[in-house]
Amino acid sequence: MSNTLGMKTDMIQIINENGEVDESRFKELKIDNELLKTMYHWMLKGKVIDKKFLNLQRQGRIGTYGSYRGQEAAQVGSALALEKQDWIVPSYREAVVSMVHGLDLKTFLMYLKGHFGGNRTPQDMNLMPIQVIIAGQIPQAVGIAWASKLKGENRVTACYFGDGATSQGDFHEGLNFASVMKVPAVFFCQNNQWAISVPFEKQMASETIAQKAIAYGMTGIRVDGNDVIACYQVMKEAVERAKRGEGPTLIEAVTYRQGSHTTADDWTKYRKKEEVEVWVNYRDPFIRFEKFLKKRGLLTEQQIEILVTQFEDEIEAEIAAFEKLSPPPAYEVFDHVYDHPHPELLKQKEELKNRIEATRRDHNA
C-alpha cells in the first residue's frame, strides 16, 4: 500500500469494474458473506431512499436535496468499518453514512422538511449535525478527536467531506492541527470529481488529494470509491492505526456524483453527457458489486426485486406517518440554540409566542 513518502499515491482497488477479484488477496481480508450481504443491503436501501427523496423534492414535499447517487459504495463501505462508539462528522451528502451509524429515517426527514429537531440526533448516537458550510465540520471533528484523546477514550472521529472542501482554509487548518496533536481521526474525502460546476482539474494542481497528506505528516491513502470492499478495508485499517495512537489518516475515495450537486443545480449546464454515461454505465458501484455477489452465489435478480419492494414499502410507510405530523410552532426555534438558554433568549421566545397567539386570536375573532 502506498504511503506519504512518495509524491503520488496509487489507488487501492479490490473488485474491478467486471466484478472480479484476486481470490488470494480477498481471502486475506477475512470478510465473511454476512458482511458482504450487509454491504449490499445498505447500498441498495440507500439507492432507493435517494431516488425517493429526489421525487419528494420535485413534488414540493421537502426542501433542497443533495443526491449521493454513485457514491453509495464509498459511504457504506467506510461507515461499516466504524463502531458505535466512534464519532461521525458529516457534510450534507452523507445520508447513508448516518443511517448505517443508526440515524432513523424520520429524523432525516425532519431535517429535510425543516423541522427544528431534524438536526438533533439521539443522545446515544455519536453523530454530529449535518454541516452545510463547506469544510466547516473539519476543525470541529479535530476538536472531538482531541477531546477523545485527552479523555483516553478508545474511539475514532470520522470526518466526511467532498473534493471541493480541500480548497477551503478549514481543511488545511484542521489537518495541520490534527497531525500536530496526533489525534485519532480519519478524514474521508469523497472525490466525486466536481465541486458544484468546477471540475477536479480546475480545483487544484496536485495530481491527487491523498498526496496532500504529505504536507501534514500523516498517512494518505487513495482508494477506488466505487469499490465498497476497498473502502471498507482502507477505513478499517485507518481506524486501527488511529486507535493504536499512530495519528490521523487522509483517505481520498475516488468516485463520481452521477446527478446534480443539489436539486437547485443542473449538471447538463457544465458536464458532458458522454462523461456521465461512462461512470453510470461502466463504473457504477452497483454494477461491479452485483456481478461480484452473483458470481459467488450470494445474490439473484429475484432477491434484488424483493429487497427493492421491501425498501420502497418501508420508506413509503415512514413518509406517510411523518407527513401526518403537525409542523412545530415557530417559537420552538429558540429551543435549539443553546443547551441551556439564557434569560434574553427565553424573553424573545415568550415575545414570539405571545405574538403568534395574539395573531391566532385575531384571526378567529
Q: Residue 361's pLDDT is what?
A: 87
**Where along the chain do its domains lie?**
11-322, 330-364
pLDDT for 6 beyond 50: no
- Domain covering 11-322 assigned CATH 3.30.420.40 in the classification: no
Q: Does residue 2 have a pLDDT over 80?
A: no
Confidence check: pLDDT of 3 > 50 = no
Question: What is the pLDDT, as a whole number, of residue 270?
Answer: 97
- Which residue reads 452465489 in cell numbers? 297
277's grid cell: 454515461
Query: pTM here?
Result: 0.93
Distance CA 207, CA 186 (A): 21
pLDDT score of 76 more than 90: yes
pLDDT score of 9: 67
Are 157 and 144 a contacting pair, CB within 8 Å?
Answer: yes
Rounded to 5 degrees, φ, ψ at 214 are -55, -45
| pLDDT of residue 19 exceeding 80 | yes
Q: Inform me whether the pLDDT recorded for 254 exceeds 70.
A: yes
* Residues marked as catalytic: 257, 261, 270
Say which amino acid occupies 147. A
Which has the higher per-residue pLDDT, 343 or 118?
343
Q: How far apart are CA 224 and CA 127, in angstroms?
A: 25
Average pLDDT on 232-239 reads 98
Three-state DSSP state, 247: coil
Residues 215-223 have a mean pLDDT of 96
The reported pLDDT for the residue numbered 362 is 86
Q: Is residue 86 predicted with pLDDT exceeding 70?
A: yes
Q: What is the rounded distance in angstroms from the CA atom of residue 178 to the CA atom of residue 149? A: 11
Q: Assign 54 a pLDDT band (cuts: 50, 70, 90).
A: very high
What phi-psi label fits residue 87: left (phi over 0), alpha (psi between -120 and 50 degrees) or beta? beta
**pLDDT tens column, 279-320:** 999 999 999 999 999 999 999 999 999 999 999 999 999 999
**Mean local confidence (pLDDT), 177-183:** 97
End-to-end alpha carbon distance in the chain = 74
pLDDT value at residue 333:
87
Residue-averaged pLDDT of the chain: 94
Interaxial angle between packed helices 301-322 and 105-113, expressed in degrees from 0 to 180 and rounded to the nearest 10: 60
What pLDDT digit, counting tens, does each position of 127-149 carry? 999 999 999 999 999 999 999 99
Question: In percent, how much of the chain has pLDDT > 90?
Answer: 86
Question: CA-CA distance, 137 to 279, in Å (whole number)?
Answer: 29
Q: Are residues 183 and 142 in contact, defined by beta-carbon separation less than 8 angstroms?
A: yes
CB 21 within 8 A of CB 14: yes
